[in-house]
Amino acid sequence: MSDVITEVAGGVGRLRLNRPQALHALTLDMCTAMAGALDRWRDDPQIAAVLLDHAPAPDGDAKRSRGFCAGGDIRLLSESGAGDGAAARNFFLTEYRLNHQLFTYGKPVVAVMDGITMGGGVGIACPCRYRVATENTKLAMPETGIGLFPDVGGGWYLSRLPGRIGQYVALTGHRLDGAECVALGLATHYVPSARLDTLKAALIARPEAVAAILAEQAVEPGPARILDHAAAIDRLFAADRLEDVFAALADDPSAFAQQTLATLRTKSPLAMKVSLRLLYDGAAMPDFAAEMRQEYAVATRMVQQPDFLEGVRAVIVDKDQAPRWQADTPAAVDDEAVARIFAPLPADEAWTPG
């Protein structure tokens, strides 16, 4: 069985992630398959809408179906980054083209983020016109913990969240629940998981009425707990300089500030500085293609940094959760090295929409 099931039901093109053993984390072949299906359906008059979700585990094990999409192929990126980086560049090129394709797609796409939605999962869900959260949604960009940064459009989406919540999410990798996703605009609707089968059946029966059907099935999600800390986040993460964020947290005796500081001390200082720069630049990007072009340049360099290789070792391979970062404090990061990471690629190497 393919890792992506592409099929047509009624007037709906269906993209179903089908790699439950890896929480549907994206491979190069999965990105290629989805992009190909979207190309076929783009001008097909029989297809009125697209539905993006994940298939249940074949044995019915709910735990194996708990992820919408847990990210990308980190092992491939790490192995490639340790070498010439060619396979990593090819993966990013293809993945980012899929992200852009979804962002600019002319027909409505509904992403059902039922479960873990992280990294590459955010990259395929957030570009969709409609994004459905449930009580199972756990959305995060945890890349700073492995020496990377919130790519796949993170610089665009997170820089546009209210106040400084995007900076907080980018640096800490904080997991947002379904109610928080709705409150922040990362999700457009909240539908209880028990209603999802009804929702999908209705979309297949009446694909021309996507907005009305979503409105019928959606419910109020309840309070967004992150908003309780919004004022503190805006104050503590006000700076675009990582050293200033650390200083603000260190000077605040509250439990929230001290817990947040402890979290940041586990992350790669280089990756956090890159993330802050990404959001600063992302807020002024003229369009999503420009964002993808910059993120591609940054990503192809970051996967060959020692911090990424060490982060993957500590978190994914050895699982000792004790990474030894090359620069272990914000002050130790060479700001000129960060600037080099953001330098545009030569024209013949730069990302394009395809």
Predicted confidence (pLDDT) per residue in 65-94, tens digit: 588 999 998 989 999 999 999 999 999 999
pLDDT at 61: 64
* The 12-17 sheet, strands edge to edge: 4-9, 12-17, 49-54, 109-113, 130-133, 189-190
174: in domain: yes
Distance in angstroms (rounded) separating the CA atoms of residues 272 and 295: 15
Active-site residue, 291 included: no
Question: Domain containing 94: what range?
Answer: 4-341
Active site residue 244: no
Convert the pLDDT of each residue in 160-205 to its tens digit. Answer: 999 999 999 999 999 999 999 999 999 999 999 999 999 999 999 9
The answer to the question of residue 18 being in a domain is: yes
CA torsion sign for 167, 168, 174, 180 is: negative
Tell me whether residue 350 is in a domain.
no
Q: Which of 53, 73, 114, 151 is catalytic?
A: 151
- Kind and range of the H or E run holding 42: helix 28-42
**pLDDT score for 62:** 60
Q: Does residue 108 contact residue 190 with C-beta atoms inside 8 Å?
A: no
Structure tokens at 196: 């999802």
The Cα 339–Cα 324 span in angstroms is 23
CATH of the domain at 290: 3.90.226.10
Residue 72 lies in a domain: yes
Is 204 part of a structural domain of the chain? yes
Q: How far apart are CA 143 and CA 141, in angstroms?
A: 6
- Whether 178 sits among the annotated catalytic residues: the reply is no
- Evaluate whether residue 15 is within a structural domain: yes
Q: Which residue among 13, 67, 71, 72 is the active-site one?
A: 72
| Tokens 């391979």, residue located | 317
Q: Is 353 a domain residue?
A: no
User: What's the whole-model pTM score?
Assistant: 0.96
Catalytic, out of 95, 143, 180, 281: 143
Determine, yes or no, domain membership for 310: yes
Count the domains in the chain. Answer: 1
343 in Cβ contact with 301 (< 8 Å): no
Tens digits of residue pLDDT in 272-308: 999 999 999 999 999 999 999 999 999 999 999 999 9
143 is a catalytic site residue: yes
Reported as a single tens digit per residue, the pLDDT across 129-166 is: 999 999 999 999 999 999 999 999 999 999 999 999 99
